[in-house]
């Protein structure tokens, strides 16, 4: 597996990481713990060194699974986790809490669940408008001084928030949604990250599974699958957005690859400091995703993709209103 530097602070990771959320929550019932541990360890054997989790995934269960899986390989891998949420009975009651005392409490609890003495990359999961970002960055700076955290990250943060945080404690990476069907970061976020030397970690790089071609207008989602409440996953939106999947299929056939691999290779081709974190519960999908690192899209390929994309109008918001309200602007 090739390696990449996330930003200018020396954090080196595999070119493709593993997003672990789906092993515990988000897309239906949690995977069996030992199956999840096996999948994560398979990823390690295949050269993956970057693993993404959060206290919110489960909540809490995902960090425990990641901690168990990676304990034998702790010094060979980079573990990213997140703080900043308050939890209710279900996802619709998810709140924000980035008070300094809460950040410190989350750090201690995450260290225990992850079975480690340091968090390699500690993200603010969502910007909390009730807490100045300078206070958040200062608290993480203290945790870094104490050796409990190595790098500071932000998630779904806007340009001004990034700049203000970076002035207090250098930000190593931003994690936000970015893919062929959500390209908003290209307007302001990517130029800012390049200017400041901050790496970028796209989550949902396969459009929550849509870009794989395995989802159609007829697909039904269970009540515990977050896609059941996402506007972009209504049957009407999926039918309209099928044009993008068809485009990926055409390119994949030409490159002897799969649509998912083309979608990931496209992300890797955008900037050398971009590291996508596709998630899966299946070993054959893991192998497929990691194979994207070996696919080279030429400048002509990228031009063709860009030209074709310009003719496709995607439908549906990426978040329901209560989650969209948590995205910093």
Q: How far apart are CA 206 and CA 214, in angstroms?
A: 11
201 closest CA partner among 54, 26, 31 = 54
Map out the domains of the chain as residue ranges: 3-324
Secondary structure element (H or E) that encloses residue 329, with its range? none
Secondary structure element (H or E) that encloses residue 153, with its range? strand 149-155
- Identified catalytic residue from 27, 57, 123, 178: 57
3-state secondary structure of 315: coil
27 as an active site residue: the answer is no
Sign of CA dihedral 270, 184, 288, 216: negative
The token duo for 30 is 């949690």
Give mean pLDDT in consecutive 10-residue pieces for the chain, a chain of 329 residues: 95 98 93 97 98 95 98 98 86 85 98 98 97 98 98 98 98 98 96 98 97 94 93 95 94 96 98 98 97 95 92 94 91
- Predicted local confidence at residue 28, as pLDDT: 87
The model carries a pTM of 0.96
- Predicted local confidence at residue 6, as pLDDT: 97
- Predicted local confidence at residue 89, as pLDDT: 63
Secondary structure element (H or E) that encloses residue 175, with its range? strand 171-177
CA distances from 20 to 7, 27, 29, 81, 147 (A): 22, 11, 14, 10, 25
60 closest CA partner among 131, 111, 8 = 111
Assigned architecture for domain 3-324: Alpha-Beta Barrel (3.20)
Q: Are 316 and 237 in contact (CB under 8 A)?
A: yes
- Predicted local confidence at residue 90, as pLDDT: 67
Q: How far apart are CA 269 and CA 250, in angstroms?
A: 18
Burial (Cβ within 10 Å: 0-12, 13-18, ≥19) of residue 223: exposed
- Predicted local confidence at residue 92, as pLDDT: 67
Buried b (16+ CB within 10 A) or exposed e, 147-167: ebbbbbbbbbbbbebbeebbe
What counts of helices (H) and strands (E) characterise the chain?
Answer: 11, 11
204 closest CA partner among 259, 264, 247, 245 = 264
Q: How far apart are CA 215 and CA 201, in angstroms?
A: 24
Q: Are 81 and 155 in contact (CB under 8 A)?
A: no
- Predicted local confidence at residue 87, as pLDDT: 85
Q: How far apart are CA 12 and CA 78, in angstroms?
A: 9
């Amino acid at each position: 597996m090739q390696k990449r530097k996330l930003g200018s602070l020396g954090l080196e990771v595999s070119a493709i990481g593993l997003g672990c959320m789906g092993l515990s929550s988000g897309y239906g019932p949690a995977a069996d713990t030992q199956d999840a541990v096996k999948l994560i360890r398979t990823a390690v054997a295949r050269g993956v060194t970057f693993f993404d989790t959060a206290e919110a995934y489960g909540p809490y269960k995902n960090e425990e699974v990641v901690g168990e899986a990676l304990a034998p390989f702790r010094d060979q891998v980079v573990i990213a986790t997140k703080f900043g949420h308050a939890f209710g009975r279900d996802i619709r009651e998810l709140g924000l809490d980035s008070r300094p005392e809460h950040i410190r409490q989350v750090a201690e609890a995450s260290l225990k669940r992850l079975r480690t003495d340091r968090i390699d990359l500690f993200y603010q999961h969502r910007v909390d408008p009730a807490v100045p970002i300078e206070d958040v960055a200062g608290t993480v700076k203290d945790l870094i001084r104490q050796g409990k955290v190595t790098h500071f990250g932000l998630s779904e943060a806007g340009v001004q928030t990034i700049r203000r945080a970076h002035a207090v404690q250098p930000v190593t990476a931003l994690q936000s949604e970015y893919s062929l069907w959500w390209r908003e970061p290209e307007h302001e976020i990517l130029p800012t990250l390049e200017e400041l030397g901050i790496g970028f970690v796209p989550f949902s790089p396969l459009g929550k599974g849509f870009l794989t071609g395995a989802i159609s207008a007829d697909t039904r989602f269970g009540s515990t699958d977050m896609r059941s409440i996402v506007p972009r996953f209504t049957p009407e939106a999926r039918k309209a957005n099928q044009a993008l999947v068809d485009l990926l299929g055409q390119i994949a056939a030409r490159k002897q690859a799969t649509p998912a691999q083309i979608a990931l290779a496209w992300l890797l081709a955008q900037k050398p400091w971009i590291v996508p974190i596709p998630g899966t519960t299946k070993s054959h999908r893991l192998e497929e995703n990691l194979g994207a690192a070996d696919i080279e899209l030429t400048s002509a390929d990228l031009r063709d993709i860009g030209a074709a994309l310009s003719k496709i109008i995607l439908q549906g918001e990426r978040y329901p209103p209560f989650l969209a309200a948590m995205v910093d602007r």
